[in-house]
Amino acid sequence: MQVVKSIFDVRRVRRGLPGSWGLVPTMGFLHAGHLALAERARAENDHVGASIFVNPTQFGPTEDLAAYPRDLPRDLALLEAAGVDLVWTPPVDEVYPAGFQSYVTVEEVTRVLEGAARPTHFRGVSTVVAKLFNIFQPDRAYFGQKDAQQVVVIQRMVTDLNFPLEIVVCPTVREADGLALSSRNTYLTPEQRAAAPVLYRALCGARDAWLSGEHDGERLRQIMRAILAAEPLARPDYVSAADPFTLAELGDASRGILLSMAVRVGKARLIDNIRLIPDS
């Protein structure tokens, strides 16, 4: 596995290894969810590239950029064991050199949900992901369903700007009690960790209702809110039952639904979702 810092070296290694490339973009502090992306990329491509970059432009001024957990030696060992060929670990000024002023903005689907709470977040994500696509030129790029809105935004950007690659979305990896794996789970105290599976319980409550024929969006939001309200440590930011493509809140959810939420537990802001599409 080659570990490089410069864009020049990514392109050099990329050119030297012909065949298909899969890319796994990450912000490091890897968990089993990231490794599932790397393993899928390994299975579907001749070569796998990964990036480890805590991207400052996707953090708001009051967010956890400085505190974001980092462990590069452990991350590199995990990626090597997963069969990754090339890892890019750039310094910030390699990605955003002095004078940088060009951004990719995806519009409507970034104004709601996470975008409403974090107004500059998706501009940072789409910009860095566009740069990663241009630098690595992968045939496929792998993202987790855990960040459902990120997936919608990136798919929109790839379609709108004609990036020649396939976006592969991998299922959310969960702890045994349902908590979605996230690098930010490390912020939870033991008591908060015990409360955190309430997000998945709330999503499952709405999912089961939807599967039993409850397709009223407001009723599904109420089901999730009621389950969250029973957990005193959970402070919901939003609870959503939205169209899986436009992310508009739904009244009639019979044609498919993205159930999602952001909930504060202690100083962690946890997100989770379940996507339901009827069999065609």
Positions touching ligand PAF (CB under 6 A) are: 25-27, 55, 58, 125, 128-129, 147, 150
How far is the CA of 53 from the CAs of 12, 37, 130, 163, in angstroms? Answer: 19, 16, 14, 21
Neighbours of 184 (CB within 10 A): 16
47 is catalytic: no
Classified as helix, coil or strand, 48 is strand
Nearest-approach distance from CB 229 to ligand PAF, in angstroms:
29
- What the block records as the tokens of 42 is 């390994």
Biggest CA-to-CA distance, the chain: 56
Nearest-approach distance from CB 26 to ligand PAF, in angstroms:
5
| Residue closer to ligand PAF, measured from CB, 179 or 223 | 179
Virtual CA dihedral for 139, 141, 145, 146, nearest 10 degrees?
Answer: 180
Q: Where are the beta strands (DSSP E) in the chain?
A: 2-4, 21-26, 47-52, 86-88, 140-144, 166-170, 234-242, 257-265, 268-276
Assess contact for 239 and 225: CB atoms under 8 A.
yes
Q: What type of residue sits at position 260?
A: S
Instruction: Choose, from 31, 34, 47, 215, the residue flagged as catalytic.
Output: 34
| Residue closer to ligand PAF, measured from CB, 250 or 270 | 270
Nearest-approach distance from CB 163 to ligand PAF, in angstroms:
14
Q: What backbone torsions phi and psi does residue 14 show, to the nearest 5 degrees? A: -55, -45
| Residue closer to ligand PAF, measured from CB, 58 or 145 | 58
- Residue 79 has what DSSP assignment? H
Q: At what angle do helices 72-81 and 32-44 cross, to 10 degrees?
A: 40
| Residue closer to ligand PAF, measured from CB, 127 or 240 | 127
Nearest-approach distance from CB 48 to ligand PAF, in angstroms:
15
Nearest-approach distance from CB 129 to ligand PAF, in angstroms:
6
| Residue closer to ligand PAF, measured from CB, 142 or 210 | 142
Which residues participate in catalysis according to the annotation?
A: 34
